[in-house]
Structure 1
Amino acid sequence: MKHTTKSRIFKILSFFPNRFGYFLYHFLQNIGSNSTFDKKVHATSNTYKTVTRILKTNNVDIEDIRIAELGSGWVPIFPYQLILEGKAMHVDTYDINEHYNTKEIKKLNQYYKDKYNFDIESKKKYPLLNKVSYFPKTDICKGDLKNTDLVLSRFVLEHVPPNIIREIHDFLFSKLKSGSYILHLISPSDHRAYSDNSLSLQDFLKYSEKEWNQIQTKFDYHNRLRLPQYLELFKNDFEIIFFEHDIINYESESFKKFKKLKIHNDFAKFTDQELMAGSINILLKKK
């Protein structure tokens, strides 16, 4: 679906009351997805490998630790992988929305049942692995994190307003025990370009804040923060012990598309590398 069509649909949905708007949003996302369940597992497995690589490089072991996930997404594949493959003790997953689907979770249980022996918590609304606790429609700042060793987010922060990111990290700093870690995987590029290759991955940087807010909705919100802005948000309270990002390939089509853009003055202070830095991964430690 072209980004213009999707944007128009989201704009229409944003005028409906939340309950009805999100019902239609879920319906359209489900029928519009061209990803099979196997593809979803494979994609999440790649993310899991990235997470374990970063943690291992920095001498962090997920075995027997308690993990909090910020943003649960649509299917709890990642918590299952952390527990069944990584041997994490427990995963608490928080989401301000409620996107889980019983049918998809049953597929997930069936997918893993032959390889792993595990128990299902059947008394809850969703038939989840019993070491997964799901907190839908719940701000993580309402959570009990005193025993949490690691907080993880996957492609969530780019969809969170900067002031809320600050609030979340103030809360995490106040509640996490000393020596706890936070790992964020961030996708700072214009997500409309994923379904429309005529767009640059930085296309949305040509707009003013006012113009961009007229284009996006609550269903596809993107804060457009650049790499230095993320680092600035975290550096005062937490020790940044690791970060990485994509490096510019000056011969790529992506760079050629980027150079054709007229970047808005709001982003004029950033270098090309700072504007284009994608796949940002940041590991924080409570000082």
Structure 2
Amino acid sequence: MDWRVKGIIQKVLGALPGGHALHFHLQRRFGGLRDFDGELASKVDDWEIMVGHLRDAGIVLPGVRAFEIGTGWYPTFPFACYLAGAARVTTYDLNPHLRMDLTLQCADILGGFLPRIATAAGVPLAEVEKRHRALVERLRTGADLGVATGGVIAYRAPADATRSLLPDGDVDVVFSNSVLEHVPPEVIDAMYAESMRVLSPRGVMFHSVNCGDHYAYVDRNVHQLNYLRYSDEEWQRWNNAFLYQNRLRAHWFVDGARRHGFDIDLDTRTTREERMKQLAAMPVHPQFADVPAEQLCITSVDFIARKPASTTAG
């Protein structure tokens, strides 16, 4: 599909009564939810990567208090953290997208990943299996996330992650996966400030950001730098409620955390030769002229930002 057609369709759906429900059904039939098993497996891969990075930073999942930004349609990361022994996972979403049919399907499919979850978290497989059995049984009786996980997962939606109402120093980890690229920059700044407040001393933020043009996933004729051709005004023709893309470059997310007083423990930004060639072969809008090509072409970053021990959130 031509990416511009998709953008216009999504923009129209966003303005229609019932457009959100229709968009979901289109995703189930033609979009990313068409292969739910594959989509979920990819999320488990991402979760394992996060757990590995957190472990390297001295954060282990058993007993951890976590705060997720951006729940989505089904709670893969919160479920995996619960199965791994997290003490608490509070997950916030601006809109109540969570669907219980997909949530139960997610829990069922995670049964095939229990050894990987146990190994990644460094916990006995028997404990993970026991928690999984209880989770699925409770969900099948109609329990919500809190009841199904024995109070470990708290789902909040609609909710504002910039005003979480969590106490100061209440969590050890704030995390998101492929979320920040869909958030306006001023809101990201507010999220960073709130994270600094709710994190315990030496607590961390982990964010995995996919900051390439997401339309490249549906149109093989364009690549992940394509949207850099356009000014902000031009880009608004295709930006929409279902696929808002802020087009911020990878360094902005890391530098923003540093501006808010975080120490950067991990920064996976990598300039790839293929992206440099793609960038050199295309026109780039002058509004990006102040960004060096080596930074402009980066389309993903995982980073860990740590709250210093001496910082007191105001």
The answer to whether TM tops 0.5 is yes
The Cα of 1:104 is off from its aligned counterpart by 1.4
Whether the 8 Å contact between 2:67 and 2:175 is mirrored in structure 1 is yes
Q: Structure 1 113/39 Cα, relative in aligned 2: closer, same or farther at 3 Å?
A: closer
Q: Structure 1 92/268 Cα, relative in aligned 2: closer, same or farther at 3 Å?
A: same
Percent identity at matched positions? Answer: 25
Whether the 8 Å contact between 1:241 and 1:283 is mirrored in structure 2 is yes
Flag structure 2 segments of 5+ consecutive residues without an equivalent: 115-128, 309-314
Whether the 8 Å contact between 2:250 and 2:300 is mirrored in structure 1 is no
Distance 1:89 1:144 in 2: 19
1:22-171 equivalent positions in 2, closer than 5 A: 22-33=20-31, 35-84=34-83, 86-112=84-110, 116-118=129-131, 119=134, 120=138, 122-124=142-144, 128-130=148-150, 131-146=152-167, 147-171=170-194
The Cα of 1:70 is off from its aligned counterpart by 0.3
Distance 1:41 1:124 in 2: 20
Q: Structure 1 248/100 Cα, relative in aligned 2: closer, same or farther at 3 Å?
A: same
Distance 2:15 2:96 in 1: 20
Q: Secondary structure at the match of 2:174?
A: strand
The answer to whether the aligner puts 1:230 opposite 2:250 as a matched pair is no
Distance 2:238 2:103 in 1: 33
2:279 maps to a residue whose letter is F
1:6 maps to a residue whose letter is K
The answer to whether the aligner puts 1:243 opposite 2:267 as a matched pair is yes
Output the aligned Cα RMSD: 2.2
- The residue aligned with 1:4 is 4
Which of 186, 203, 208 aligns to 2:226? It is 203
* TM norm structure 2: 0.82
Q: Secondary structure at the match of 2:90?
A: strand
Whether the 8 Å contact between 1:105 and 1:126 is mirrored in structure 2 is no
The Cα of 1:21 is off from its aligned counterpart by 2.5
- The residue aligned with 2:126 is none
Which of 276, 281, 290 aligns to 1:260? It is 281
* TM norm structure 1: 0.89
Distance 2:77 2:95 in 1: 17
Distance 1:89 1:261 in 2: 49
Whether the 8 Å contact between 1:193 and 1:200 is mirrored in structure 2 is yes
Distance 1:112 1:129 in 2: 14
- Between Structure 1 and Structure 2, how many residues are aligned? 281
Q: Secondary structure at the match of 1:182?
A: strand
Whether the 8 Å contact between 1:70 and 1:152 is mirrored in structure 2 is yes
Whether the 8 Å contact between 2:258 and 2:264 is mirrored in structure 1 is yes
Whether the 8 Å contact between 1:150 and 1:182 is mirrored in structure 2 is yes
- The residue aligned with 1:213 is 236
2:174 maps to a residue whose letter is V
Flag structure 1 segments of 5+ consecutive residues without an equivalent: none
Which of 202, 227, 244 aligns to 1:179? It is 202
1:124 maps to a residue whose letter is D
The Cα of 1:112 is off from its aligned counterpart by 4.3
Distance 1:171 1:107 in 2: 33
2:262 maps to a residue whose letter is F
